[in-house]
Structure 1
């Protein structure tokens, strides 16, 4: 009897606690959606007797650069609990200070949103695609409070709301705090919905696109095959909040292609024309983003915790967080059968060739490349940069390092692989959600593959910018890595020709023939080797020197700010290493290749 009374008492206390919770309340309406506007109301209750600081974010989960979301907020109005107008001041471009309230502030504004992507929001007659930091204000000092948001959907629209937030019914959803709210994107549209349980958890596709039910069924099956292959690497799915993960997929002509990971969902966006079949649209992005449910969301760099919504977020681990994820993106498609193993292998060489030949390795190692994310991750600026020479995307750089590490482990023929290393990192940092540093990753590799191996790998390829022996590694994996045209001459620049005048599309690449000759991107190229570009009808200007050989000197006539001059350019050999399936690989290489690429 005492136990029953105690249980009743505890339930009563818990119920009273829930009822006493103070929520930050939001309401959003789409009456003027044809002009890409939403009207938003935020209600903040039980406030202390001081100025309420209301903010728009400047950064967004999954992005590392600053984005000025406040620029699309206007028609701001603040009132108290009785509807009295409150004074609003602006201490900076991203903030509104509200004073003189009675413990309640109702903050209303209009939002303009016309870029449906991973970072921004897009509203029109067909949908409301909402990245939360680009959509909703929040208030300092009360970010710990739970959030409830009501979506007033257009009458007769057939819109449904999909999000990772808890569904309370009546188009109202809940997040445990502002941090979770900011990490919970929303797609409201006439959605194709598909779902399936795996080990008691629900994997859900909420797809906004023009497609038949049969197309969507086939698409969902391909997605689920990839999900199963990713689960096989880690041995389990992450424990999703509310037991559910949602692919928020938006494939419409006016969308902006993108993919963005979140804790229990992802935005995957494509500008697919209405009349194009669904097919494999953005399947690589679907694979990439779901892998982030482990690698980034739970195997998470300590440098990204807590995420700062008011400034750029810098991490030296993006070569692993984004780059290793990029390595696995198409590998899972090959293992699932969504693409052929041979097509996968034949597509590996381009990225490796690019990183091997990129001058950026002279300036920064993979850690320092990761530090540059706030400057390049959809960041905007109007002054020219020299990224063509000093920067290699941490996505690409990290992906080829992940490939190298996988091949180095596999060619030891002791059962080790990158799959095994990733599972070890999952067990030590992901399931426990203990943030990691670069040194932690090195320590985990020591535990998995031995101290000498780990220290050598990190010393050469992470803390320095050396390159592994890709040709030798590929050979032992049953893959040929070579230049199919080793003696092709090149000027070492991509030139776009308009109205008979050529311009390099980026800065001259350090060490290239054009760079050594002193030709730059602002120069107008008039002729090459005596051949006027006015007569050029090809696509690659190297076609103009096809009868030459590396080491030959040709004349390039340019116009630099109205002054004509001729530059002597010494042609180089085009470095264009590519991979292809080795049909004559020995038995050991074939076995390694099969184990690497087969379904798990």
Structure 2
């Protein structure tokens, strides 16, 4: 559009009061054709499916032209209308309060600033495709800026974004982060370490490329010339958020000191790096171009996130950080997570994806009973689909072929895939119908036939709890100033007999809870009621009497204990597997 091509947009971000958690933003817009312009801030950030209302943190929004203040009217929760009259250029200023440290929200303090761009920058309405520049002025005690944005030659800490989709997908780290680099898959990678941590830079420079090479091998190309890892080393935390040529990771600062912690970090690297392809480029049709004002619904997050959870295991295996035995054990654990979640028999993978906006990021005390994570269910569906494709093709093809084919198809057609297109590709690669599979595991809530699918690869899988009868209440409690019920499982004794979340348990079978807990060694603040001494010795059908406090009033509740439905999936590679099974195992693991 020629009018938009004439528009020039620039930002300048500074930090007058970082200790109070504020960024100062100056925005210039020139080439305006109308007598007013609406300036809008996103309400959510891609990759995190929740309306977060970033505009709630904006203060002192003002505009001027030629040095004269312009009239500004707020016309919706995230939009300000500037009446510029005949002026073709306006200057806009506003402050943003940023004090939520996560991978998806901006955070500023005296030590550093993390600019999660959807919570900092705004765009003129209808001009998402317009280019812009961003100049960062670090606080006086800071010296470094790290971002995946393209630098403007000759201008320190100034960057160029070809459009707002790129700008909103490019976090900016400002402070005194330690930056080191390495080359992997022919691409320069930088790691910006924020905060102290017990990491070994030389070890990471050796091991992170192994993960990157294996992820790239799946798709046949690495789409970037540069990639940035922003790593926040925090007291407690974990998670990541993918971007087009960068990612933000949050880890506990001492996580690198143990083998499990170090592998966990590499696992997070594998997950977020795989998103380079799956989600950022191989994406559902609903996830780009984005509507930054509203929810963007898709039924395919079980592929976008769930398959990425599955592939982080495959990448770690192929990179040499997981043994085949540990790979199988981790997937058995993933299956256990799904089959032991009551909500898995209520909500499908597709429905979980669609309802991410209202359930996935807003869990409550009953979410476990009425929903399943698209991460967890998608990981298991990915494994089942992979094994089914390998079996159907006698070891010739795998899910890798589906992902690679879909990646190149989406790249060629220039838009995301539909449900039907993804299913069609699976069937094309496998050479057989997947309609029954879809009905069971994607749009349906059937039990996971894990023994059958593991069996394709010569892996023996059983429920280690089968035949064991363990009595259970089906409830957990938080131990704090009071012993408060935290969760109640669907169809459990607690569910049937009316024990509620937020009930405070005062005594069990007449014995004071404080006295009982004095003999319990707590591993975490949340415990299963079943470990309490009066309950642990009981059998299925026995009763337990609880004296509780509900809404300030005492009452008695009697639970009739039921058999525990918990499944413990135990899986191991059968050394006596037949040749077809060995062929499936070899293809599956890709070793």
| Superposition TM-score, scaled by structure 1 size | 0.87
Structure 1 counterpart SS, 2:505 = strand
Instruction: Supply the distance in 2 between the matched residues of 1:271 and 1:167 (Cα, whole angstroms).
Output: 34
Counterpart contact for 1:66–1:379, Cα < 8 Å: no
Matched, 1:536 2:516: yes
Separation (CA, whole Å) in 2 of partners of 1:113 and 1:230:
34
Out of 512-521 and 578-587, give the one that drifted further: 578-587
Whether 1:487 and 2:469 are equivalent positions in the alignment is yes
Corresponding residue of 1:12: none
Q: Per-residue deviation at 1:322?
A: 0.8
Distance change in 2, residues 1:414/1:276 (3 Å): closer
What residue is the counterpart of 1:171 in the other structure? 157
CA contact (8 A) 2:509 2:544 kept: yes
Aligned match for 1:571, one of 545, 548, 562: 562
1:306 aligned counterpart, secondary structure: coil
CA RMSD of aligned residues (A): 2.7
> Quick check: 2:37–2:84 contact (8 Å CA) kept in 1?
no
| Contact kept in structure 2, 1:292 and 1:325, CA below 8 Å | yes
2:178 paired with 1:192 = yes
Alignment of 1:18-97 (within 5 A): 22-80=7-65, 82-97=66-81
Q: Which moved more, 1:244-253 or 1:474-483?
A: 474-483
In 2, the alpha carbon distance for the partners of 1:595 and 1:32 equals: 56
1:415 aligned residue: 396
Aligned equivalent of 2:122 = 137
- Is residue 12–residue 137 contact of structure 2 (8 Å, CA) maintained in 1? yes
Q: Secondary structure at the match of 1:228?
A: helix
Q: Residues 185 and 213 of structure 2 are in contact (CA less than 8 Å); yes or no, is this contact kept in structure 1?
A: no
Equivalent position of 1:496 in the other structure: 478
> SS at 1:407's partner residue?
helix
Counterpart Cα distance in 2 of 1:418 and 1:53: 46
* Corresponding residue of 2:326: 343
Is 2:166 the counterpart of 1:180? yes
**Which residue of the other structure, out of 496, 509, 524, is the alignment partner of 1:516?**
496
88-97 vs 191-200, which moves further: 191-200
- Structure 1 residue runs of 5 or longer lacking an equivalent are 1-16
How many angstroms does 1:584 deviate by?
A: 4.8
Instruction: Please report how far the alpha carbon of residue 385 of structure 1 lies from its aligned counterpart in structure 2 after TM superposition.
Output: 6.2
If the length of structure 2 is used for normalisation, what is the TM-score?
0.89
Aligned-partner Cα distance in 2 for 1:445–1:108: 51
1:98 aligns with 2:82: yes
Asked whether 1:366 is paired with 2:349, we answer: yes
2:446 corresponds to 1:472:
no
The offset of 1:49, in angstroms, is 3.2
8 A contact 1:69–1:133 mirrored in 2: yes
Q: Distance in 2 between matches of 1:275 and 1:289?
A: 18
**Displacement of 1:310:** 0.9
Query: C-alpha displacement at 1:217, in angstroms?
Result: 2.3
User: How far apart, in 1, do the equivalents of 2:541 and 2:423 lie?
Assistant: 44
**Residue in structure 2 matching 1:125, options 106, 110, 122:** 110
CA contact 1:59–1:133 (8 Å) conserved in 2: yes
Residue 466 of structure 1: SS of its match in structure 2? coil
Q: Which moved more, 1:99-108 or 1:339-348?
A: 339-348
> What 5-or-longer segments of structure 2 have no aligned partner?
521-526
Partner of 1:408, secondary structure, is helix
Cα-to-partner distance string for 1:309-336 (whole Å, 9 max, x where unaligned)? 1112211111111111111123312221
SS at match of 2:174: strand
Aligned equivalents of 2:100 and 2:383: distance in 1? 34
Deviation, 1:492, is 1.5
SS in 2 for 1:503: strand
Give secondary structure in 2 for the equivalent of 1:334: helix
From the superposition, tell whether residues 484 and 385 of structure 1 become closer, same or farther in structure 2 (CA, over 3 Å): closer
Q: Pick the aligned partner of 1:317 from 289, 300, 316.
A: 300
Counterpart for residue 9 of structure 1: none
Pick which of 300-309 and 430-439 moved more: 430-439
The DSSP-based 3-state class of the residue aligned with 1:303 is: coil
Partner of 1:250: 232
In structure 2, do the counterparts of structure 1 residues 199 and 292 end up closer, same or farther at CA, with 3 Å as the change threshold?
A: closer
1:451 aligns with 2:401: no
Establish whether residue 153 from structure 1 lines up as the match of residue 124 from structure 2.
Answer: no
1: distance between equivalents of 2:415 and 2:216?
20
Contact 1:210 1:274 survives alignment (8 Å): no
What's 1:3 paired with? none
1:558 corresponds to which of 543, 548, 555 = 548
Cα distance in 2 for residues equivalent to 1:290 and 1:77: 40
User: 1:548: which partner in 2?
Assistant: 538
Q: CA deviation at 1:578?
A: 2.9
Give deviations 1:428-478, integer Å, cap 9, x for gaps. Answer: 2245443112111111111011233x2221122112111331023224435
